[in-house]
């Protein structure tokens, strides 16, 4: 019995000793450290924002890519963002979707309005406290942010590219797209003004077309029958240029040395190394820029200082660097 009592006393003594050794403040520090390591502490947590994206229904491969890259970006942001993407075919439908996003509780909306009549609903959204970033389209609304490419500089780069390849004299067909409004006006303006400065003796011949390969093919096939000697083509859209290249091939013409484009079309990029006798160029007005619009919305919500307008500089793509811009998942 004495041995058994002694054993119990020894166990009790050891338990008291261990409790005394572990009774300091270190346990609290370890607990706080564990919470921080597990992400349970208040520091380091990020607020989740609701981001709405409004885009037109697909009428052009470029438009499809805008929605694609916008969704890619919000997915990349992971748990930082809860998002909805809506597409519409007119201003009335986009206005209804804008109301739905406001009801949903959107903190910010990235909008790509291609129609007149969006000024009032977007102003109402801003006045209600929602951050609105317009992609591409300029709109007369107080407090809106805008992200866009530089349409006029695309023309400047096209003129410089053609002169670099064919010299300061030659015959250049200019393909404008009157139905696209300011887009065509600015790209053509940048081209013509720059050409007047750097190659005033260049012969410019202007024709109208559309932003489709079918129109590029049909319109340029007609041009080829009436113009015997062409050194370069200033086209402002990649899809149009795909049609232009098909017309050149079908006509068996070998005089054309340069075809420009605009946008950032994957199929067009892949044609660049295949056409060794023609320099194929694209002045990027990339749909990837919509990712910048999403990032700016997040920056504003985080309280950072952001310029009201962000213009993305023009990048020129040709056979020398096209591989840097390939994206097999892009719809455009």
Query: Whole-model pTM?
Result: 0.72
- pLDDT bin (cut points 50, 70, 90) of residue 285 is confident
Region 84-113 average pLDDT: 92
DSSP state of 60: S
DSSP bridge partners of 175: 207, 235
Per the model's pLDDT, the better-predicted residue between 170 and 6 turns out to be 170
What DSSP string describes 13-30?
HHHHHHHHHT-STHHHHH
Region 37-48 average pLDDT: 46
- pLDDT bin (cut points 50, 70, 90) of residue 191 is very high
Over residues 135-160, the pLDDT tens digits come to 887 888 999 999 988 999 999 999 99
Over residues 287-310, the pLDDT tens digits come to 778 889 999 999 999 999 999 999
Average pLDDT over the chain, rounded to whole?
A: 84
Region 65-92 average pLDDT: 86
* pLDDT recorded at residue 40: 34
- CA gap 138, 296 in Å, rounded: 16
With residues binned 3-state (H G I as helix, E B as strand, rest as coil), the percentages for the chain, rounded to 5, are 50, 20, 35
- pLDDT bin (cut points 50, 70, 90) of residue 60 is low
Question: Does the pLDDT at position 219 exceed 60?
Answer: yes
- CA gap 213, 223 in Å, rounded: 15
* pLDDT recorded at residue 174: 98
Long-range interactions of 196-201: CB distance < 8 A, separation 24+: 198/159, 198/160, 198/163, 198/168, 199/159, 199/163, 199/167, 199/168, 199/169, 201/168, 201/169
- pLDDT bin (cut points 50, 70, 90) of residue 46 is low
- SS3 call for 240: helix
Query: Structure tokens of 12?
Result: 């009790």
């Amino acid at each position: 019995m004495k041995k058994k009592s002694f054993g119990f006393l020894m166990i009790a003594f050891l338990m008291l000793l261990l409790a005394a050794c572990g009774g300091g403040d270190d346990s609290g520090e370890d607990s706080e450290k564990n919470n921080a390591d597990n992400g349970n502490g208040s520091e380091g947590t990020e607020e989740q924002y609701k981001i709405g994206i409004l885009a037109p229904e697909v009428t052009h491969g470029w438009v499809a890519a805008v929605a694609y890259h916008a969704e890619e970006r919000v997915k990349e942001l992971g748990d930082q963002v809860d998002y909805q993407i809506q597409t519409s075919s007119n201003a009335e439908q986009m206005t209804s979707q804008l109301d739905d996003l406001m009801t949903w509780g959107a903190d910010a909306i990235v909008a790509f309005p291609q129609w007149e009549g969006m000024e009032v609903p977007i102003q109402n959204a801003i006045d209600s406290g929602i951050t609105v970033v317009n992609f591409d389209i300029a709109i007369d609304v107080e407090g809106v942010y805008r992200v866009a490419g530089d349409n006029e500089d695309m023309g400047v780069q096209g003129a410089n590219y053609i002169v670099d390849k064919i010299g300061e004299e030659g015959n250049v067909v200019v393909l404008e797209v009157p139905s696209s409004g300011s887009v065509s006006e600015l790209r053509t303006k940048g081209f013509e003004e720059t050409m007047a400065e750097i190659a005033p003796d260049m012969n410019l011949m202007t024709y109208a077309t559309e932003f489709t390969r079918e129109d590029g093919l049909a319109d340029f096939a007609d041009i080829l029958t009436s113009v015997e000697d062409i050194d370069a083509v200033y086209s402002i859209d990649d899809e149009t240029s795909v049609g232009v290249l098909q017309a050149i091939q079908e006509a068996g013409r070998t005089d054309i040395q340069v075809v420009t484009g605009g946008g950032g079309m994957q199929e067009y990029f892949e044609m660049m190394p295949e056409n060794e006798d023609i320099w194929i160029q694209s002045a990027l007005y990339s749909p990837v820029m919509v990712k910048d619009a999403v990032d700016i919305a997040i920056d504003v919500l985080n309280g950072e200082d952001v310029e009201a307008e962000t213009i993305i500089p023009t990048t020129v793509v040709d056979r020398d660097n096209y591989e840097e811009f390939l994206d097999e998942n892009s719809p455009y």
